Structure 1
Amino acid sequence: MRRNLVALAAVGLLTVGGLTACTDDDDSGSAAETRRADGTGKVGVILPDTTTSQRWGSDDPKLLKAALDAADVPVEIENAQGDAANFQRIGDRMIAEGVTVLIIANLDPVSGKYVLDKAKAAKVKTIDYDRLTLNGGADYYVSFDGEQVGKYQGEGLIRCLQEKKVAKPRVVYLNGAPSDNNALLFKNGYDSVLQPKFDDGSFFKGPDQSVDKWDNKEGRSIFVEMMNQYNNQIDGVLAANDGLGNAAITVLRERKRNGKAMNGTVPVTGQDAETQGLQNILAGDQCMTVYKPIKKEADAAAKLAISLFKGEQAKVVDRVKDPESGAYVPAVLLDPIPIYKENVVDVIKDGFATKKAVCAGRFAALCRENGIK
């Protein structure tokens, strides 16, 4: 689904800067087209929750609003707070109140498709943001290269296990939500790296479980069961994001398997470069994370939305195939960045995380030790 269908990240970045506009005649005479023409419409944004990742509650709304405000395009941003019915209600209301472009980061495929279908019927242009809505038929898709995220996670776990010199380590998976296409892409990526290790017998594969709704509490419960099953003898955790990684770390901390524990640190991966994830890396509790420069993603989605708001059709060079419908969705894909202890500082230099937050309290000394000044 990846490299034969999409360009490399550099091309994706060029795409963001090289959107071209032409008249979109498909909506001629529609209410949405009239609002686009007379400037009375707005851009609507629906985000999924505020618990699975800090980005949805703070980063994305701030960045999307700033980009759209800078273009003097009216925008309304709402969060479904993890409630699929609320996600649908927000979509219904925004469409009824006159949005002409709708950006959604779906909570699940069903509620996401419901909103996209309603938008299509009302001639509202749509952008899947960060997550592809399976069988949803969005007009555009903006995200990061999901399989590359997973490859970085798998490579990171291998690196950390090799540094520990663990003989035939037992590795377990805490995958993301089974309803999230991104979780499938991440898993495809880390499976491509780790499966050869399992096949040749150098690694032992333990439980491989998905965590519904990316719920960190459920992730913790699942990991407790894994640890109990193997009498605490787990050597590596492929956690699909920082929230699930921290869920595992809390259990490892309780069982003295974290940081500089005498009976052996267990490497844990992550994703999203959350403040807590960066602190866990500095403390030695987490092996690595994957940083997705969200500002680039927000700017790309905003640029598309601005063109569509003006009644223009934005052209992009990438596309992805919806694995359920088989349809190709025009796309902008960006490249992620692996983060280890030695380059945590890069996330702060980029402005995504602040030194004040990451280096608070006991982490101040760890920041100084790792070049964060």
Structure 2
Amino acid sequence: MSQISRTLLVSAAAMSLALTAAACGKAGSSSSSSSASGSVAASSLSGKVGLLLPENQTTRYEKFDKPFFEAKMKELAPSVTVDYANAAGSAATQAQQVTTMINAGVKVLVVDPVDAAAIKASVVAASTKGIKVVSYDRLSQGPADAYVSFDNIKVGQLQGQGLLNVLGSKATPTAKVVEIDGDSADPNAADFKSGFQGVVKGKVDLAYDASGLWKADVAAQKAAAAINQLGAGNIAAFYSANDGMAAGIATSMKNAGISNLPLTGQDAQLDAIQRIMVGTQSFTIYKAYQPEADAAAQLAVDLMSGNSISSLATTTKTNGSGNKVPSDLLTPVLVKADNVKDTVVKDGLYTVAQICTSAYAAGCKANGLS
């Protein structure tokens, strides 16, 4: 996928976890500027924008995406109201939430679908009513007007190369790796898997492959089943598609007496950064939330005001229903112990104090983060 480096101007959001000013080429840099694209009338816009997020097991949505999006909307179009709903992992609930927002007269829907295929009917219904639809983080089926996310194939590639790097000389065609993927209803999960397998296949043995459904308890069960099937002493590494599932896998590893084996992740959750500090997780993938939320807000405002989105959505993605959707794809970054300070701490996502609590203080000190 083509991408052009851009300079992100990341302003302090109205919350204690606001990011600091971003520099060109840093984590989360996008293919184009997220500054106003000539929307001179944005400040005079009124009406409602709907924000629908998929679940609350992953900490990012309530803690970061929602407040960042709301703050950017308030900055760009202070008279526009943001109606918010979280589907708590239910596609049926999300469909009802879309219907409620359509009936409430929203002008734009920003939707992170629980199930990309199931949301299609809702996207069609909104489009029929003249409501613009922005797919957020996950690409919905149906006639969406715009899409903002990260290069999800690249995420998987980073995870794959990161795992090979951690394995080092132990990365051989007979080295057994347990692979726990995300939910197949999420099209991003397929991209992560494709990117990951494209890097590691033939270089390690993907001896066990299952879906953890983005749930820690399911991932823990799958990891335990893999350990029982393969034998604890025969496993070289564990691939987890995200940090939430990595938490469950780490528990199963501990229960089986497994330590010092590579474990991957994604999302730069606080607990994952802490595990990285003490060596129970090898790395995570950082996808800066504020640039993504800011871009979604800018797209919503531009669509609401009838302005072109071409300066922001500089590429296209074809969704599962064959619609070509103008897209803004941001750049993910791999985070290990040696660059935590220069990524999530520098960006203000977490403070050193938040990471380096008493249980992790020794690991922080050993990695120069105290």
**TM score, norm. by length of structure 1:** 0.86
Instruction: Give the one of 332, 344, 347 matched to 2:344.
Output: 347
Aligned to 1:245: 246
Bigger shift: 281-290 or 351-360? 351-360
1:196 Cα shift?
A: 3.4
Instruction: Give the one of 170, 173, 179 matched to 2:185.
Output: 179
Indicate whether 1:305 and 2:288 are aligned: no
Task: Please list every run of 5 or more consecutive structure 2 residues that lacks an aligned counterpart in the other structure.
Answer: 8-28
1:22-101 correspondence to structure 2 within 5 Å: 39-51=45-57, 53-71=58-76, 72=78, 73-101=80-108
Aligned to 1:104: 111
Aligned partners of 2:155 and 2:285 also within 8 Å: yes
1:270 Cα shift?
A: 0.3
**What amino acid is the match of 1:61?**
K
Aligned partners of 1:16 and 1:332 also within 8 Å: no
Aligned to 1:27: none
Runs of 4 or more above 3 Å deviation? 8-12, 16-23, 36-40, 163-168
Aligned to 1:317: 314
More helix, by proportion:
1
Aligned to 2:10: none
* Cα 1:357–1:38 shift into 2, 3 Å: closer
Aligned to 2:195: 189
1:124-135 correspondence to structure 2 within 5 Å: 124-133=131-140, 135=141
Distance 2:131 2:226 in 1: 46
Cα-Cα RMSD: 2.3
Task: Please list every run of 5 or more consecutive structure 1 residues that lacks an aligned counterpart in the other structure.
Answer: 24-35, 198-202, 259-264
Distance 2:360 2:215 in 1: 27
Aligned to 1:122: 129
Aligned to 1:16: 33
**What amino acid is the match of 1:209?**
A
* Cα 1:124–1:211 shift into 2, 3 Å: same
Instruction: Give the one of 319, 326, 329 matched to 1:333.
Output: 329
1:64 Cα shift?
A: 0.5
Distance 2:68 2:55 in 1: 16
**What amino acid is the match of 1:186?**
F
Aligned to 1:152: 158
Instruction: Give the one of 148, 156, 176 matched to 1:142.
Output: 148
Instruction: Give the one of 258, 275, 286 matched to 2:270.
Output: 275
Distance 1:54 1:176 in 2: 16
Q: Secondary structure at the match of 1:137?
A: coil
Aligned partners of 2:39 and 2:302 also within 8 Å: no
1:74 Cα shift?
A: 1.9
1:166 Cα shift?
A: 7.8
Aligned to 1:31: none
Give CA-to-partner distance per residue, 1:228-248, whole Å, 9 cap, x none: 001212111111001111211
1:305 Cα shift?
A: 0.9
Distance 1:282 1:124 in 2: 46
* Cα 1:236–1:177 shift into 2, 3 Å: same
1:260-271 correspondence to structure 2 within 5 Å: 265-271=260-266
1:63 Cα shift?
A: 0.6
Aligned residue pairs: how many?
342
Q: Secondary structure at the match of 1:296?
A: helix
Give CA-to-partner distance per residue, 1:139-196, whole Å, 9 cap, x none: 0000000011001100111111116688942112101111111011111111111013
**What amino acid is the match of 2:200?**
L
Q: Secondary structure at the match of 2:107?
A: strand
